[in-house]
Each structure stands twice: as C-alpha cells, then as structure tokens.
Structure 1
C-alpha cells in the first residue's frame, strides 16, 4: 500500500499531493484539484484531460493562487463548486478570481470565472486552458466553430504541428466514442489551439488570448474579465454500456509480447563545467554505471571558458566509451572564428571528443508564433565552420532545447551526421500525474522527428525532470522549498523513486525510434544519479534513478522486444536480451498505487515470480526469463 511507504522514498520530499475530489453527475465524472477540473470522463472514457483557469507571469511561470471560501456540493445526480482565488504579483499587485462550476446528469458542465484587480495586474496569460487527450484522439475527426460563426470540419493533427492548428475558436466538437460527441464552447475571449505534444505534454491545448497579441499585457484596475467554458456531451446510443476497454477496479494489468524489435540505444550522461570537478571526484561511480557516452556541455554565454576543457579531458580519459561536446555558439563574431577559437582551446588542453553538437546560442530561446525570428547566421555556415574547426569529429545538430524549437526551426540535416533535441516534462505543469502523462507524448515526438529527418541517426537528451534551461523566459525557476513547480531548475522527485520510474518509462516509450543515444541524467548535481554530500540521500549518495540508468547502460546494444500492456497508463514493459545472458523483462509502475501484473506467457526463471506479480508504487523491476 502507498501509505506504508515513506513519501520521501517515492517523491524525494515528505510533502505529498492533496488527492483530487471525485465529483459525478450521472455518467460524467471529474477530478477537482487545485481549483480546476482534471480527467473528465463520460461512461468511463476520457473526454477532456483538464479544464483549468491559469495565470502566467512574464516568464510564463504559473501562479499558484490562494483559494478561499471553497464550497463543494455533491448531490446524487449533480454537483457544484464555488471559490475565490487570489494571486499576488510583483510590486504587491493583486488579482482576484471568482469561480463557479456546475454540472447535472444529462446536462452541461459549466465552468465560469470573473477576474478583477484593484491595482492592475501584469500577465502573459489569464484565463482558461482546455486540454484534449492525445491517445485515441490524434488524427481523429474534429469540428471547429470559429468566432465569426464559420465551421471547419477537419482532423486533430497526427504528426506534431509546429504552429497552432486551429485559431479564432469559439467551440470544438469531437467524438468520444461511437454515437457520443463532446462540444466544448469557450466564451469571453478568442481562443486558439496549440499542439502541446511539442513540449511532451500529452494533450492538445486550447487557450485564451492569441499569441499574436502582445505579451506581457496589463489587466486594468477594476476592470472585470469574464470567461465561461460549457461542455455538452451528446449521447445517441440506445443503451448505455461501459466500454470493454475500461477495466474494473482491481483487475491485474496484463503484459503480452508484441511484434516490434530493435537495438537498445547507448546511454549518455551530461557533464557541465559546473559539475565537472564533482564528476571527476566520483570517477569510480562513473565507471560503475558504465555509460557508453559522455555529453560535455559548453556555453560561453554562461561564463564557460578554456579551463573547462582541461577537466573535460581528465574525465574523458577515465571513460571507456565515447564523448560528445555540445556547443552553444555565441555568434557575436563569424561562426568560423568562434569555432576555431574553441578548437584551439580544446587542442591546448588535449581534449578531443568523438563528436561535436553545435547550435547558435540564440536558438536556445523559443520564437513563439507571431514573433520575429532573431538574427542568426545561416545554419549551413555554422555547420561548415564546425566541419573546418573540428575535422574528424562526427557533427550533430538540432536543438540544445526541446523538440518544440526543432519542429519550428527545422535544421538542414544534409551536413549533419546526427540530429538531437531534449524534452522536459515540467514546462506547463508539474503535478505528479501531468509529469508521468508526458510519457504518452514521446512516441508522437519521435515519429514526428522520423517524418522530418528519415533514418538520420537520432539522439535525445539530456532529458530530465528538472529544467536545465528555459527557452520561454529569462530564467528557470529557483525552488528552495522543494515544491512541485513548473520550469524549476531542481525538482524533489529527482531524488525519489518517481524519477527512477519516469526514466525507465521514458526509455520504454522511445525504443522504437531507433535512437543511437539516450541521455536521461548527469552523474552529479541537480540532474545527477548521485546526490551531493549536503542532500538527504540513500547510502552511498545514489539516487534511485541510478538503478535505471545503470540498467539501461548494461543493456545498451542488446536486442529489445516490444511488450503490450492492457493499461499503459499504469504499467509499461519491454524485454531486453543482453548478449549471451538470459532475457530480462523490465516492468515499471508509473502510478502512485500498487499494481497487480499478470505476466501471461512469460516464463520467469524464478518460478515464484510466475503468474501475478505485485508492483509497488513507482517500482521499476527486472525479471530474468527462461
């Protein structure tokens, strides 16, 4: 049971999330949490992932409003919720939001909000966000009503759209299941949709205020901002039955063998100049992990200089695998002169990585829709400069930030030996459920990359729960209290079993992308597999994610086989056969509750593990097979 496990073991903090309140109205069910609606289902099928009222600051950070006067009324066939939310901005500016939510069986869900400020309030966005799920919805038919009354019958994007697929929206209608449709009507402003899979969110997001309008903007003092969301579900079935795909509570998750096969990727660790000394001191742990790749990071705009290459070289000499240097090129001078200067410093230090990843520093910042692209030398010129300055090294390009930026600024792949990008699961939301749900988006990301770049060698990472760089604002968010906050440069769950499960789930979800390298952590520091001496940690300083990274490194180059899960939102699995060793069945529970797992036709070498296995919350296990 979850209650028997120390929360610190799971989440790296003793602070647990307040569970949602389940509200129902007939066949409609919603989870009410932190003032918003999550997991909106009808007759057991997810209709919307969320309806939320959000306030963003000038760096796209999300305010956590203080809620008061909360009233929840659950009746037999209806519910209602009301509360006041308060935000305090810079210079003691204030914003108050009055919220009412209601639903009746057979009727609409209504979520209305009125925001007003006594002082005026600066924001990048203030209003509703509606999230449609992606599984079963991607590529499906949808009808969009625009603000001028025009109706557009089209499809949700299948491959990930770099820009907004739908603009000037008033309502959107999609099929939930045969003969059941859901219309979401949005009142009070102009809405548009973005494909949130760009950021590895498992949703399409419809949000208020078009991005083409200026931001940040000011909400004038004493001027009310009113918005309303109305969700209507039309059910034309003669008899209402729970879909067969919905498993009764308590049923074991069944794991079966799939058809897809491939080769496990190499595993990398990222090393920054800030963590290089600690990494060198922990060289014995580095050898124990046995990662195939070291990814050294170098950014002159962050104060990195030639001294970094001496310690990089010392680390690389202790490493049995290959190494890559990623360079955020300042582009203040010609790309060739800057690349040659870096190459000369590397040569003086004796540092000679096997590969170079180069990207203009300016491309680390996002260029949102409607914004002007910043000045930047042509990428072909930058790649030619790198070829000249680093002869003999493999050349990689793409983005040092996320798939979003790669999708919007598609690099020319002809000059490159491989493409690369990162992901981060706390760009928009940082609650436990949202973070784990980002795993659902990863196959869409890798399939979209393959659609753009074909069979070009492909790497991902570093991709960690904490955010190493914020492409959407001036900074990542400091997190001294160790909370669950978006865009934070530290995250408590990286210290817990949560990160171990997230990393193994990540690997499972990208297996069929044919990656040549996957980087999910550093050795030390806030992204590391070992903790610093000042942090509470397990014996030896090893965080639980150490186990996943070491296991994946041991399995690199081996053959994997797909496994199908009857509930991939709960348990993920795959089989890896490391050379002459016995095959391993890797299982991961990506939920905070224990899961019963039926192993089906798999034959564990230990007969005691046959049949039904119990996976504790966020457990990652390996079972040896006959």
Structure 2
C-alpha cells in the first residue's frame, strides 16, 4: 500500500492517492475517484449523494480521511440539512467493496440519497449484461451516442468486458438504474439508486440510517497498463492524467469556415461599464418574457452597439388555446424592438420544466410576430438549458428551423474542477451530435452553441425555473444575476486555457457560432468596472482566428449568418487524450494555432497542419498561440 501527498491548488482540488495490490484510486472532493485495476480505470467515481427540493445537491465537508494497507474511509458532514456520512472502500485481492452510510439528524425529504457510481465514457459502445433484483439477466450497452433516456433500469448488478478484463459490479441496498450524463457534458455514465419512476420527494426519518454498497471485481489480464495509455479520440480521460512520454500528437485538417465567436449579454446590475471591446463581437441576449425586466434587458443589449443573437422565452402554450393571445402580444412587442437593429438571428423557447425547448407552437408565435413586423430573420430553436432537453424533446421541434441551438454549462451535477476539465471532450461529442441532428431536424442548417457558462444560468429541473426581480429596471440585474450562477473560477487564469480547449472541441464542421459567458460582470470576461479577467485574452485570441469583418446585418437581410471569411478556413482535430487541444485557422500563406493544455503538469505537443508541424511545450493549465508563415 502506498499513499500520495495532498496536492492543493486553487484550480485543481486537493487529491490523495491510494494503492493496494492491483487496485488504485484517488480521494478527491469527498469521492473515491478513478478506481483502477492494473492502471485501467474501471469506475470514474463512487460518491455519496443527497438531492433535496428542485434536485439541489447537498454539499459535503470532508471531516477526515483514514487509510490503512487495504482500506480508505472518508467521513462526510453536511450542515443544511444536517447529515453525517461515511464513504468506505476495502480491498480483498481481486475485489473492491465500497459502502455508503448516511444518517440525517432530523427528518429529511429527499429526491435521492445514497450511492452513485460513475462509469468512464471510454465504455461508450461496450456491451453490457444487466442483472435484475429477481435474478434475471438482460442485454444492454453503454450507448455509443448520448442516450436521451435510461440505457439500463432495474439494476442489481452489471457485467462488461474492458481492456481484457471481465468486470463484475454488484449493488445492494436499493434498486438502481443508469443515465447517460454526457447529455450534460459530464464525462460519465451514472448508475444511481432509487428509480425515477417512484414518487419523490420521499421521507427519511431522523437518525434513520441509509446504507448502500457495491462489490466490483476484475478477472483476466494482469499486465500493468503504461501511464497515460491512449484512449479513443473524443471519449475523454482522467483529469489527473500525468503519464505518457511526449510529444502528444494532434492532427489538424482544414474544414468549414470558422464559427463566429460571441459573448452572452451581461445580466449583472446596472450601471454598465465602459468597455473598449470590438463592436463586431455578437451578443447573445435571452429575453424571458415571463419577467418584468425583459424590456430593460433588450434596451441595454441594443445600446451596447453589438450585433445581437436574440432568444425569447415564452410561457408554455396553452393546449386549449392555440392562439395563445398573451404570448402573441409579448412576442410582438419584443420583435418590434428589433426593427432597425443589428440582428443576426432570433429564436424562441417554451419556458418551464421539463421542456425549455422550441416546440412548434412557440416557433409559430415567433414567426407570426416577425411577419407582422416585416422582419426576415433566420429563426433558430433547440434547448435553452442543456443538450439533455433537446435530446429528449427532438419530436417537439418544428421542421422549418433555420438553425439548431443549445446551451452548455458543465457544472450542473458537480462543481469540481475535474468535472469542468473532463467536460471538454464531451463537448466535442455533443457538438458532432448537434450537427447530425441539424441534418435531420433543420435541413442541415448551422448549429449555434451558447451561452457556454460554468454554472447553469437557471435550474432547468426546478419547479419554478426563474426568479422574479422586484422592479422592471436592471438595478438588481436579471436572469443568472438572481440565481446561484456565479463561479469563482470565472476570474481564474486557468479558465483561459479551458476556453481555448472548449472552442477547439466545439469547432467541428457544421457549428456556425459559439457564445461564451457574459460580456461583463461576475460571470463575464471583464468585471463590473470593465477590468478584464484572464479569460478575455483567450476570447480575443479566438476572435483573432477569424478575418476582421462585421457579421451583423440590419433587419430585412436574410443573410444574417456570418459570410465565409474569404480564404480563412478552420483547422480542427481531435484531442489525443481529452486534455490537450488545438484549433487554428489558415488564411492564405499564414496559419495561426492556439494550443491548450488542461493537464496539471506541463506537456509537449506536436501539431500537424497542412502548412507544416509545430512542437510546443505548454505549461500546466495554460495556452499558447503560434503563427506559421
């Protein structure tokens, strides 16, 4: 048994390593992570989870971590509500046993409480045998494409083959089922307790103990995998990856014109600062017509002087009233405010859980308002929350969309930096799936991704998904400013590298625009006084890949999407490990490259392009720019 020291960092969480025989794992943020046999990760993580009203996750404090030669015990504590817990793993030869015990001090009403198992995304496409509580067995698989619904239900155990090993996972204490968390850009498939078909919330009595357990065994090959072993491109890898001998290789090929790089409109309280920003940067502004601030939000966005990508949020249409007069009046008023403005495109979503998608009734109301105002603008639709809702609601989309849109926010299930870092490879999977859906649902029209934010701008699974300000102006801000949507890593230098990596992952052929964060404020690229955060430099570099030019139009011009940038072409390619990324542009004899390293250590990377090869050593959680002439 060996123990590694804690490795504290402002960006990377403190981590302790544990090894016993063939087994190894990490203790990180109160979870048992990267559980591996002979260096091969079998389980992405094992966690103790408590979800309360609106599926809010109760945060844990780690009170102690104890290790012996063959066991790890993590003691947990929550204060609101007051819960104590233990997460323990024991090694016995080829078997690892893990248990979760939770005990609330008072009566607890919960949507979910107990054991969660995360499976690595490299298993996508792997056949699976599901053992049921009655002893029966049925075939399934870890789905290749992100699955909209549970790929396995009624689970008491799972069996699969991985890297020459036969892996057996047994579960006890409840009935489990699985969901594909790649829909939210999580790098995992999740097996969780208590089927969603059962009523929730449910009651747990004061001092009533919850106990769940698992046993995982691996039989077969015993050869140790080399550190940093290769994975299939785009399937993701551990954020703790430190191994492998460089240089790692990225092959970039010429593809479509580069996507527009834009920003989300600021939602922070007035006053807006003076910002010396290129007025050609598009702003994505969401106007929630259910609130009193939407008119002020539109006025501020228009006053910024930037071209606008406008998204309207409507009350869900009343099935008994197809005319929906309340929505029609508000939408007509909002669309009238776009006349004469610099508008790229406009979209609309039905607000309210569980949809948040652009159904046929919502888009029909928008198109009617555009016709009444004499505006001929591209109409986009999709999901304003996560790819999840779009994946589950494909059948709701109308057939006449001019583009497919989706938002992304990696920190939905988990606030840890590993979650954030590992999401990048999943973003590429979802971008490609979006392009395929656009072929099916929007006649091959472009894909618009954004806003890409760290935390969700609203709780898509809450009974009420928006906050109501007390006044119609922006003295309090609006939308995300009134929610728990601000993350301290917005100011971190490492976020710049993450943003370059994210853009490299999302910039696949067929993606027309990508919008990040907000223009200013605590969720922006500059603060409320106009001082830039480090991520501002990354966005400027990404914008610099595109030839200068204003992509915006005034109303009535159908060609609202960016015109091709002459000879400028996107250079795109897969990451070799999910943590090293490159993106570039070729403009005649000049090639510009942006390289990002999300590893916690420096990495040497060789980038092959049509113009030649560049080899660089990129520092940990950093990025570099290189020009070839």
1:129 is matched with 116
Q: How does 1:265-276 map to 2 (within 5 A)?
A: 265-272=259-266, 274=268
1:65 is matched with 60
| Structure 1 residue 31, shift from structure 2 partner | 0.5
Q: Quickly say closer, same or farther: Cα 1:99–1:311, change in 2 above 3 A.
A: closer
1:189 is matched with 174
Q: Quickly say closer, same or farther: Cα 1:565–1:323, change in 2 above 3 A.
A: closer
1:27 to 2, 22, 33: 22
Q: Deviations over 1:535-559 (max 9, x none)?
A: xxxxx71111112211222223431
Q: Quickly say closer, same or farther: Cα 1:388–1:17, change in 2 above 3 A.
A: same
2:590 is matched with 582
Contact 2:403/2:438 (8 A) holds in 1: no
Whether 1:165 and 2:151 are equivalent positions in the alignment is: yes
Q: Deviations over 1:269-323 (max 9, x none)?
A: 22156568526x32x3243xx42x22222113232243444433332xx33xx42
For residues 96 and 21 of structure 2, what CA distance do their matches in structure 1 show?
12
For residues 338 and 429 of structure 2, what CA distance do their matches in structure 1 show?
42
| Structure 1 residue 488, shift from structure 2 partner | 4.1
2:449 is matched with 460
For residues 57 and 359 of structure 1, what CA distance do their matches in structure 2 show?
27
How many aligned positions are there? Answer: 564
Q: Deviations over 1:5-60 (max 9, x none)?
A: xx9xxxxxx85655221111222211112332111122222211111111122132
For residues 601 and 324 of structure 1, what CA distance do their matches in structure 2 show?
33
Contact 1:306/1:346 (8 A) holds in 2: no
Q: How does 1:136-175 map to 2 (within 5 A)?
A: 137-175=123-161
1:285 is matched with 277
Whether 1:544 and 2:529 are equivalent positions in the alignment is: no
- Secondary structure (helix, strand or coil) at the match of 2:620 reads coil
Q: TM-score, normalising length from structure 1?
A: 0.82
| Structure 1 residue 345, shift from structure 2 partner | 5.5
1:4 is matched with none
2:286 to 290, 297, 307: 297
For residues 312 and 490 of structure 2, what CA distance do their matches in structure 1 show?
26
| Structure 1 residue 428, shift from structure 2 partner | 0.7
Q: TM-score, normalising length from structure 2?
A: 0.82
1:401 is matched with 385
Whether 1:82 and 2:63 are equivalent positions in the alignment is: no
Q: Quickly say closer, same or farther: Cα 1:519–1:45, change in 2 above 3 A.
A: same
For residues 246 and 273 of structure 1, what CA distance do their matches in structure 2 show?
43
For residues 262 and 296 of structure 1, what CA distance do their matches in structure 2 show?
26
Q: What is the RMSD computed on CA atoms of the aligned residues? A: 3.1
- Secondary structure (helix, strand or coil) at the match of 1:214 reads coil
For residues 590 and 83 of structure 1, what CA distance do their matches in structure 2 show?
28
For residues 193 and 116 of structure 2, what CA distance do their matches in structure 1 show?
7
1:570 to 570, 575, 579: 579
For residues 448 and 600 of structure 1, what CA distance do their matches in structure 2 show?
26
Q: Quickly say closer, same or farther: Cα 1:349–1:142, change in 2 above 3 A.
A: closer
1:382 to 365, 368, 386: 365
For residues 62 and 446 of structure 2, what CA distance do their matches in structure 1 show?
49
| Structure 1 residue 163, shift from structure 2 partner | 1.1
Q: Quickly say closer, same or farther: Cα 1:160–1:598, change in 2 above 3 A.
A: closer
For residues 410 and 83 of structure 2, what CA distance do their matches in structure 1 show?
28
For residues 270 and 600 of structure 1, what CA distance do their matches in structure 2 show?
33
1:537 is matched with none
Q: Quickly say closer, same or farther: Cα 1:26–1:603, change in 2 above 3 A.
A: farther
Q: How does 1:521-532 map to 2 (within 5 A)?
A: 521-532=517-528
1:252 is matched with 246
For residues 108 and 350 of structure 1, what CA distance do their matches in structure 2 show?
67
Q: Deviations over 1:463-497 (max 9, x none)?
A: 111321110225699xxxxxxxxx94111111112
Gaps of 5+ in 1: 1-6, 8-13, 368-372, 478-486, 534-539
Q: Deviations over 1:366-414 (max 9, x none)?
A: 36xxxxx99x983464354344345312111112211111111124242
Q: Quickly say closer, same or farther: Cα 1:331–1:129, change in 2 above 3 A.
A: closer
| Structure 1 residue 242, shift from structure 2 partner | 2.5
For residues 299 and 443 of structure 1, what CA distance do their matches in structure 2 show?
29
1:501 to 486, 497, 521: 497
| Structure 1 residue 212, shift from structure 2 partner | 1.6
Q: Quickly say closer, same or farther: Cα 1:451–1:68, change in 2 above 3 A.
A: same
Contact 2:44/2:120 (8 A) holds in 1: yes
For residues 595 and 364 of structure 2, what CA distance do their matches in structure 1 show?
46
Q: Quickly say closer, same or farther: Cα 1:584–1:206, change in 2 above 3 A.
A: same
Contact 1:36/1:51 (8 A) holds in 2: yes
- Secondary structure (helix, strand or coil) at the match of 1:189 reads coil
2:314 is matched with 329
Whether 1:50 and 2:45 are equivalent positions in the alignment is: yes
Gaps of 5+ in 2: 1-7, 231-241, 468-482, 547-564
Contact 2:317/2:362 (8 A) holds in 1: no
For residues 598 and 555 of structure 1, what CA distance do their matches in structure 2 show?
20
Q: Quickly say closer, same or farther: Cα 1:253–1:527, change in 2 above 3 A.
A: farther
- Secondary structure (helix, strand or coil) at the match of 2:149 reads coil
Contact 1:383/1:415 (8 A) holds in 2: no
2:235 is matched with none
The answer to which structure has the higher helix fraction is 1
Contact 2:153/2:177 (8 A) holds in 1: yes
| Structure 1 residue 209, shift from structure 2 partner | 0.8
- Secondary structure (helix, strand or coil) at the match of 2:590 reads coil
Whether 1:358 and 2:358 are equivalent positions in the alignment is: no
Q: Quickly say closer, same or farther: Cα 1:623–1:272, change in 2 above 3 A.
A: closer
For residues 43 and 59 of structure 2, what CA distance do their matches in structure 1 show?
22
Contact 2:11/2:494 (8 A) holds in 1: no
- Secondary structure (helix, strand or coil) at the match of 1:462 reads strand
Contact 2:140/2:152 (8 A) holds in 1: no
| Structure 1 residue 250, shift from structure 2 partner | 6.2
2:103 is matched with 116
| Structure 1 residue 583, shift from structure 2 partner | 0.2
| Structure 1 residue 417, shift from structure 2 partner | 0.8
For residues 592 and 169 of structure 1, what CA distance do their matches in structure 2 show?
36
- Secondary structure (helix, strand or coil) at the match of 2:461 reads coil
1:212 is matched with 197
Q: Quickly say closer, same or farther: Cα 1:308–1:439, change in 2 above 3 A.
A: closer
